[in-house]
Amino acid sequence: MSKNPLLSPFEEAPFSKIKSAHFKPAIESAIAEARSEIEEITTNSEEATFENTIEALEFTGRHLQRVSSIFFNLNAAETNPDIQQIAQEISPLLTEFQNDITLNLALFDRVKHVYENQDQSALSEEQKTLLDKKFKHFSRNGAMLSEDEKLKLRKIDERLAKLKLQFGEHVLAENNAFELWIQNENDLDGLPPSIKEAAALLAKEKGKEKGWVFTLDYPSFMPFMKYAKNREIRREFYLAYGSRGFHNDDKDNQEIVLEIARLRHERAILLGYESHAAFVLEERMAESPKNVLKFLDELLEKALPAAKKELTELEAFAKQKDGLSELQKWDTSYYSEQLRNKKFDLDDERLKPYFQLEKVISGVFEVASRLFGLRFVETKDVDTYHADVKTFRVFDQAQKEVALFYADFHPRPGKRNGAWMTSYKGQYKYDGKEERPHISIVCNFTKPTENNPALLTFNEVTTLFHEFGHALHGMLADTTYISLSGTSVYWDFVELPSQILENWCYEEEALELFAKHYQSGEIIPIELIRKIKESSNFLEGMATVRQLSYAILDMAWHHADPSEIKDIKAFETKASHRTQLFPETEGTCMSTAFAHIFQGGYSSGYYSYKWAEVLDADAFAHFKEEGIFDRKIAQLFQQHILSKGGTEEPMVLYKRFRGRKPKIDALLERAGLV
């Protein structure tokens, strides 16, 4: 095998030199190195201090962090059977290593000694937070358990690591296995030419001599559901999407979901908590399941009447238009789009020519420049893992390079669905040197065709701004410690920088920067901007209830004993009955493909999207008071939110930015719920 590029330190990820077989030995080597660093701390004969214990622990395993971040990012964005197999082998090693740290009594004794004896006045706010988090990491994860209980915890964590990987692999496999091959052009009635062209191109790529292919990837699935007149094919397509992981075959996730939920509950009880949700929420702004459930109930009380009113209007429209007697889930996107077009004379096909991907990228860069003084320079000298990936060096007003930015925009078979921000290298300061971050956003946007560049739907535009908001949180990080840097904040605070940036997509002053017709260069007409704003809360009640249903289902899984659950579908139906707007669909199941909570980090945290909406609406109202590009407000946001990461309590940081606690009024007004 060639020389392993991951065994030596590197600045930028050496993607082109990495072979799949390099990962396991590199991670084993990095674990051994980190173990040696831990041993130096525990065998230190000097009294435990903040510097020789807490700081020393913070800076262990930096090489391991880098190698494992590269590996797991590739497993999400460019996976293959080899990488998936290695993931199954590596995950138990990493879980064992993490448990070896958390359950190391000698190490915990030193941390505990500092926690109990440290003069707090001698520490900065960031150092106080680090000390508190290090102690809680041990105390909340088994350091005070008996040896038998520690062994039990290790087994639970190792099993959970494997199950989450299997869950994700099954969803990806189900996604890739399904394709809708249409050979009769009449079945495409209603679809715009650009969507048909993309589907024809996909058919060719998949070796079909004729016809059109649609997949479960979002840019393929959603336009079909939105525009296709053929109701029966919409039903078939919806059922394929809604039944992922629910086929009682080798890719079925039902038992995996049950086992994950049971193990999480068992783990929480072992650690002295009432439930997994109670364990998780102790370290969130919301603080407890009771507060989350109260928050969700209050929002549902506001949203449900609006949703029912909207549904009645949508049903009447579908009946008047096509004689539909009962609206089903596979009808909502189609008739919503038809009604939106009728009310506002606006649809995605009319807007897409103004949202060429490259121009939207330039636009989001210009927004970042006007707000935070950043400059983005595309570079070809950075190694990437796929030809689609673009790279940019990011400079501040002083022309200092503050970050390296990767952007990966289009779907492909080795890439999971959705959109996310991640990092290949975190920001921190060590040994007199500042390490700047390498940040990435990964999306699944409409691809260019033979005749057209990549033209985005408005929803894709807001998604790009959303993920770029997360990226700014990472790029503008300015902390000493990596575990408190960038997006390393409370989970219900992390969506504030991403969601607030979406607001600029609705503002004339921002749209004029990038919403230009890809052929004529014409700036988007003011009439269309007005329609975008007018339609921004169209069917917002139904959308809010849908989001709340996901959050309520998440809490149902994680704030009760799941040991008696036998039928996942029946459990889901019961948990979500208050948010049920449509007839139940046999053969579908949300939980078996609910990757946010069973694969990602959102278990007991899905509510955070709505929680952060309160923050983002309130924060953007502050910008609106002074102007959406007001540098003074932007500097406050950068100084107190973006640069601070998790160095202090989120509410403390928010109040420094806003001058007060957030109010729900701006969200209710924006959503049209008042």
Residue 179: predicted pLDDT:
95
Residue 2: predicted pLDDT:
77
Which positions ≥6 away from 519 have C-beta within 8 Å?
353
Q: What SS3 state is found at 136?
A: helix
Does residue 205 carry a catalytic annotation?
no
φ and ψ at residue 647, rounded to 5 degrees: -75, -20
Place of tokens 């869950």: 167
Residue 599: predicted pLDDT:
94
Q: Give the residue from 311, 312, 321 showing the smallest Cα distance to 342.
A: 321
Domain with CATH 1.20.1050.40 in the chain: 15-144
For helices 23-42 and 62-77, angle between their N-to-C axes, nearest 10 degrees: 150
Specify the DSSP element, H or E, that contains 421. strand 420-425
Domain with CATH 3.40.390.10 in the chain: 353-493
Measured between alpha carbons, how far is residue 100 from residues 34, 91, 107, 154 in Å?
11, 14, 10, 9
In angstroms, the CA 540 to CA 310 distance is: 9
Greatest Cα pair distance, the chain, in angstroms, is: 82
Residue 33: predicted pLDDT:
97
In angstroms, the CA 93 to CA 90 distance is: 5
Residue 446: predicted pLDDT:
87
Question: Facing residues of 401 across strands?
Answer: 395
Q: Are the CB atoms for 607 and 286 separated by under 8 Å?
A: yes
Q: What SS3 state is found at 419?
A: coil
Identify the active-site residue in 55, 169, 310, 467: 467
Q: Note the pLDDT tens digit of each residue in 581-637.
A: 999 999 999 999 999 999 988 999 999 999 999 999 999 999 999 999 999 999 999
15-144: CATH superfamily: Endopeptidase. Chain P; domain 1 (1.20.1050.40)
The full length of the chain comes to 674
- CATH-assigned architecture of domain 353-493: 3-Layer(aba) Sandwich (3.40)
**Tokens encoding 391:** 């790279």
Question: Facing residues of 442 across strands?
Answer: 408, 420
**Tokens encoding 257:** 């979901």
Residue segments in the chain with a per-residue pLDDT below the cut of 50: none
Compute CA 103 distance to the chain's CA centroid, rounded to the nearest angstrom.
Answer: 30
Pairing of strands 401-408, 420-425: unpaired
Residue 36: predicted pLDDT:
98
Classify each residue of 402-419 as buried b or exposed e, where b means 16 or more C-beta atoms within 10 Å of its C-beta: bbbbbbbbbbeebbbbbb
Question: Facing residues of 395 across strands?
Answer: 375, 401
Q: Note the pLDDT tens digit of each residue in 24-67.
A: 999 999 999 999 999 999 999 999 999 999 999 999 999 999 99
Using a cut of 0.85, tell me whether the model's pTM lies above it: yes
Strand ranges for 208-304 from DSSP E: 212-214
